[in-house]
Amino acid sequence: MVCRTCGKKGDHWTSRCPYKDLGLPAESFVDKPAVPETATAAAGSGKNTYVPPGMRAGADRSGTDMRRRNDENSVRVTNLSEDTREADLHELFRPFGAVSRVYVAIDQKTGMSRGFGFVNFVNKDDAQRAINKLNGYGYDNLILRVEWATPRTN
């Protein structure tokens, strides 16, 4: 342990420091261990800035997020009924080609659909065919609007 009064390692604690009566200047007290410069440079502008582990220097960013949609082949479907589920959309869009992901926005309080969702296709041509055929299609007593999904802003 390091004494906070004298800053020396030894067999004494701060309260029993033999040098406490000498009145060392306050700047010489050791409150916190020194922070390496590389850690503060990676942290940003302030000393106490939190940096998530994934954004720290040397972090591995090679992992993929399986829930992330591919914006290039993504189709947005709006005007869905409250009881529409992901399985329903998958069944509706499967005849047009290989579907890689289906997402229906669900209200967390009610558990019902929020009226829109996204369908990701493996091929862009399949997505275009689905848009051409299903835009304006009557589904569950509502008329669907199917269009290209706008890319996310980060």
Model confidence over 7-25: pLDDT tens digits?
Answer: 777 777 667 777 666 654 5
Tens digit of pLDDT for each residue in 40-67? 454 455 567 888 777 777 766 555 444 4
Indicate if the pLDDT at residue 27 is higher than 60.
no
- CB contact at 8 A, 113 and 85: yes
Tell me, what's the pLDDT at 62? 55
Indicate if the pLDDT at residue 73 is higher than 70.
yes
Tell me, what's the pLDDT at 69? 46
Tell me, what's the pLDDT at 65? 46
Token output for 151? 């890319």
CA 8, 11, 16: angle at the middle one, nearest 5?
80
pTM of structure: 0.54
> What is the residue type of 59?
A
Three-state secondary structure call for residue 124:
helix
Tell me, what's the pLDDT at 72? 79
Tell me, what's the pLDDT at 53? 77
Across the chain, mean pLDDT equals 78
Q: Tell me the CATH architecture of domain 71-148.
A: 2-Layer Sandwich (3.30)
- CB contact at 8 A, 99 and 119: yes
Query: How far apart are the C-alpha atoms of 93 and 95, rounded to whole Å?
Result: 6
CA terminus-to-terminus distance, the chain: 46
What are the sequence ranges of the domains in the chain? 71-148
Indicate if the pLDDT at residue 86 is higher than 50.
yes
Look up tokens 């009881």; give the residue: 83
Tens digit of pLDDT for each residue in 100-138? 999 999 999 999 999 999 999 999 999 999 999 999 999
DSSP character string of 81-114 = -TT--HHHHHHHHGGGS-EEEEEEEE-TTT-SEE
